[in-house]
Structure 1
Amino acid sequence: MGGRLQGGFTLLGLLFLVAGLGVAMAALGTVWHSAAQREKERDLLFVGDQYRRAIESFWTVPLPVGTPRRLPKNFAELLLDPRFPQTVRHLRRFYRDPMTGGDEWGLLKEPDGGISGVYSLSKGEPFKRANFPAAYARFEGAQSYSDWVFRFDVEKAQRDAGQGTKAAPAGKDAAGVPGPGSNDQFRP
């Protein structure tokens, strides 16, 4: 009878061990998921800023004489600017949306059809709530990643260049500031 009793305690101990390992694995999974989500958020901040900078570069680059200043009509114009006879790139490559893993981005379109910014199509709730770079302080308190809008502010660039609502002349510097926009989408 002592052998059967000892076997029962061994089985009971093994069950507690398996239950403890299950709890530890669940906790590890939660920690891993949180770390992965935070990494995606860092990637979104980097990629969104790359698009905003590329749009700003497209706007501010010194243009050939007689070429009107405008925003890009699509992402392809950021990879190869059609306003120049030689190769001019404002963006190294297309980037995927880190939050959705897809090629589609929400686009901010100006009345002339030019793209002034991008945002993720993810409706997920951000972990990051504070300590954003100054240019993106408005992301604090965002309800979803689609509220993280990476926008080049054309009106501000025109004001800074002393142009009012007209296009800035070739070679003038312009500043980019994020802001709200439309709900268009784009897939490169």
Structure 2
Amino acid sequence: MASPTAISSRRQQGFGYIWVLMMVMVMGIYLGLVGDVWQNRLQREREQELLRVGDEIRLAIKGYTAIQGAEGTQYPKRLQDLVQDPRAPFPRRFLRRAYKDPMTGEDWAYIGAPGGGFMGVYSKSAKIPLKQANFPPQFGGFADKKSFAEWQFAWWPNSGGGRTR
């Protein structure tokens, strides 16, 4: 027959095992919450980068179209044209480099311009933005958009400000 101390020892081992399982479960829940917070932080950083780079491209298009050729207002044909203006025999730059879309890591989608080329860019991401309000004035049209693809960075010379929409 088993002694009372042996039975008590087995009960203590069973309690210790259950306690360890509960601690692992609690740690898993907390790590899941930390992961969600981390993902939100990364998305907010990408959103800020999207706003910064998109506005930089919009202003580069403004500078590009301000220099009119013999045919009148010309728009860039590709993003690389803003890095090195093909219309000039000397180096003329409107952007430092051809940025990728911060949300997808791929090339931007273009907003077509009259007469060819593009007058703006937007992200191809269908994700829902975390930022839905309190935009600076140049991004006023971005409030309550359902996806990043609706955040369009374009220069409309005849609109009196070339604002984003």
Q: Contact conserved, 1:67 with 1:83, CA < 8 A, in 2?
A: no
Amino acid at match of 1:36: L
Map 1:11-90 → 2, pairs under 5 A: 11-61=17-67, 66=70, 68-90=72-94
TM-score where L is the length of structure 1? 0.80
Q: Please name the residue that 2:4 is paired with.
A: none
Which whole-Å CA distance do the structure 2 matches of 1:51 and 1:12 have between them? 58
Map 1:1-188 → 2, pairs under 5 A: 1-61=7-67, 66=70, 68-102=72-106, 104-157=107-160, 175-179=161-165
Q: Contact conserved, 1:99 with 1:122, CA < 8 A, in 2?
A: yes
- Higher fraction of helix: 2
Deviates further, 122-131 or 106-115: 106-115
Amino acid at match of 1:76: Q
Amino acid at match of 2:75: L
Which whole-Å CA distance do the structure 1 matches of 2:80 and 2:18 have between them? 64
Amino acid at match of 2:128: E
Q: What runs of 5+ residues in structure 1 fail to find an aligned partner? A: 158-174, 180-188
Instruction: Tell me by how many angstroms 1:69 deviates.
Output: 3.0
Alignment size in residue pairs: 159
Deviates further, 105-114 or 119-128: 105-114
The percent identity for this pair of structures is 37
Instruction: Tell me by how many angstroms 1:156 deviates.
Output: 2.2
Amino acid at match of 2:90: Q
Which whole-Å CA distance do the structure 2 matches of 1:51 and 1:31 have between them? 30
> Larger RCO: Structure 1 or Structure 2 (Cα < 8 Å, ≥ 6 residues apart)?
1
Larger Rg: 2
Q: Kindly report the root-mean-square deviation, in angstroms, between the aligned alpha carbons of the 2 structures.
A: 1.5
Q: What runs of 5+ residues in structure 2 fail to find an aligned partner? A: 1-6
SS at match of 2:58: helix
TM-score where L is the length of structure 2? 0.90
Could you list the structure 1 runs, at least 4 aligned residues long, displaced by more than 4 angstroms after superposition.
Answer: none
Instruction: Tell me by how many angstroms 1:12 deviates.
Output: 1.0
Which whole-Å CA distance do the structure 2 matches of 1:140 and 1:67 have between them? 37
